[in-house]
Amino acid sequence: MRTLGVIGCGAGGVEELRTALVEPAIARGWQVAVTLTPTAGGWLRAVGEVERISGVTGFPCRVEPRLPGQGRPHPDIDCYLVCPATANTVVKLALGIADNQALTTLGEAIGTPGVPVVVFPKINATQVRHPAWKSHVDTLRAADVRLLLDEEFAAHGPRSGGAPAIPWAEALDTVERTTG
């Protein structure tokens, strides 16, 4: 069975992660293992979603790193999907900063041959206009990270605040095209 590693960040829409991404991925035949950034983990714990995600996937929903001597809580991953990704996560990933479990996992994935990484940044136009943004995108693309940027999903239009809506089904379609 193919395993999709889902990484959720503290961006609007992450509260829909289970119903809009995890359950549809399982319905498409994926086994799903979820890791959250600390902010997303705090948000989803507060509303009981961490436990619901673990119940649906059969794996712990990771936020913190495992303790020394503990076994790996997730199986080997065939593809990672970071959705939604904050600008903070995208920038840190491009710079190789691994200061939380989600970024550590993604950094290792980028360095692992044959493990694709797909990222949907849920950011607004002001963040894209920052002069460093293009170099971060270029760095990730050079590492074969598949970035689903706003212009690719322009039909979805921005939500309030200028950040694009999350195209959950299209993100899963991209994962399936990427993994063949």
Task: For each of the domains in the chain, give its residue range(s) and CATH number, in order of start.
Answer: 3-64+80-179 (3.40.50.1950)
Each as own residue / partner, the long-range contacts of residues 171-174 (CB below 8 Å, 24 or more positions apart, any chain) are: 171/21, 171/81, 171/83, 171/118, 171/120, 172/21, 172/24, 172/25, 172/28, 172/81, 174/118, 174/146, 174/148
* Contact status, residue 149 vs residue 83, Cβ threshold 8 Å: no
Tell me what pLDDT residue 125 has: 82
146, two tokens: 């598949």
Q: How far apart are CA 43 and CA 14, in angstroms?
A: 9
Tell me what pLDDT residue 163 has: 54
Question: pLDDT-based confidence at 147, cuts 50/70/90?
Answer: very high
Mean pLDDT, the chain, integer:
91
- Mean pLDDT computed over 106-128: 93
Distance of CA 29 to CAs 3, 22, 176, Å?
A: 9, 11, 11
Sorted by sequence, the CB contacts under 8 Å of residue 31 that are 6+ apart come out as 1, 2, 3, 4, 57, 75
Question: pLDDT-based confidence at 150, cuts 50/70/90?
Answer: low
pLDDT in tens, 3-47: 999 999 999 999 999 999 999 999 999 999 999 999 999 999 999
* Contact status, residue 88 vs residue 56, Cβ threshold 8 Å: no
